[in-house]
Structures are given as C-alpha cells and as structure tokens.
Structure 1
C-alpha cells in the first residue's frame, strides 16, 4: 500500500472495524434478540452506520479530497449509533467501535 498518513490509516482501520461491528451485530445479535434491537429506527441506524463507515474508508483509501465531508457525516452517525446501542444495551462492542470511529473521523474531518 502507498504511504498513507498514519492518522488516516488509523481512521480507515477504525471505519472498517466499525463497519464490521455494526453489520455483524445487526445481522446476528439484533435479529436474534428482537424487541428494541429490531425496532426499525435502530436497525436502520445500524445499517446506515455500517455503510457510511465503509464509504468513508473507501474515500480515504482512494485519496479523495471529499473524505473530509464523509468523515464529518460518519462521525455524526457513529455517535448517534453508539448512543442508541448504549440506550438499548447489550451491544458494548458495537458502541465502542462506533465511539472509536467517531473520534478518528472527527480528526480527519478537521
């Protein structure tokens, strides 16, 4: 891989980790748990979070200057997702991945 700023590489890694955590948690844990876990607003938020994380990572990897806009939006959605996962409970791994991603995306957006 070409030389990538270490902070950007860390953000890419955090985005991809969050993508995997949200998608996996939604498709496995949430679908099994049911109830609030599959409430449409929460489930859509997890899907949106996974996708914006994947997209933000993609834009950083291709070196697009538009990554800043995506990272700003990603930080906002990850924060919302982390709070909702904490509200419902029993999704600490997902919430932690979201918090990490939100923080590194905020730095990339700055």
Structure 2
C-alpha cells in the first residue's frame, strides 16, 4: 500500500463525511421538508457536491496525482453548497461538513 500523508488521510475522511452528509440530507431531510429544500438548483447542487466529494476521495485513495484537480473543484462546489444550505436554512450539519471539506480540499489542491 502506498504511503499516505496525515493531511491526505484527513482530506479523504472530510470528503467521505461530506459525501455521506450531503447525500443523506438531500435524500432524507430535504425530500421530507419539501419547498425550497427541493428546488432544482439546491437539490442539484447537493447531489453534485456529494458526487464530487466521493470522486475526490476515490482519486486520493487510489493514489492518482489528478486528485489536485478534483480537490480544487470539490472545494469550489462545497463552498457553493455550504452557502446554499445556509440560505435554505435548517441544514447546519451540511454547512459544517461542506466548509470543513472545502478547507481540506483547498490544502490538497495546493
């Protein structure tokens, strides 16, 4: 197994946590709440965020140097998702997970 830095392992953990949080909140919380929680823009952004987090974690796990590209994109999408979840309201778990992941991914993209 290739050696992984503690920073990369932390980023993988943050990405997987954000993936789980976004997907779970979209499929459970947002669908139950309805209204602005299921507006196309918001729901699509949450789905994009979850998938980008999953992809970034995957590329880091397999040791691809292309993780820098996905991490840069992931940080951007996570920031957008955090802001939108804040706008919609009652989604603090998602906001926190997205911000933590964005910060982690910015470090990995550098």
What is the TM-score normalised by the length of structure 2? Answer: 0.98
What SS does the aligned partner of 2:105 have?
helix
**Runs of 5+ unmatched residues, structure 2:** none
* Counterpart position of 2:92: 92
| Number of aligned residues | 110
**Runs of 5+ unmatched residues, structure 1:** none
* Counterpart position of 2:28: 28
Q: How does 1:1-110 map to 2 (within 5 A)?
A: 2-110=2-110
Q: CA deviation at 1:40?
A: 0.3
Where does structure 1 differ by over 3 angstroms across 4 or more consecutive aligned residues? none
What SS does the aligned partner of 2:65 have?
coil
CA distance in 1, matches of 2:58, 2:50: 12
What SS does the aligned partner of 1:4 have?
coil
What is the TM-score normalised by the length of structure 1? Answer: 0.98
**Could you say what the CA RMSD is over the residues aligned between the two structures, in angstroms?**
0.8
CA distance in 1, matches of 2:99, 2:19: 12
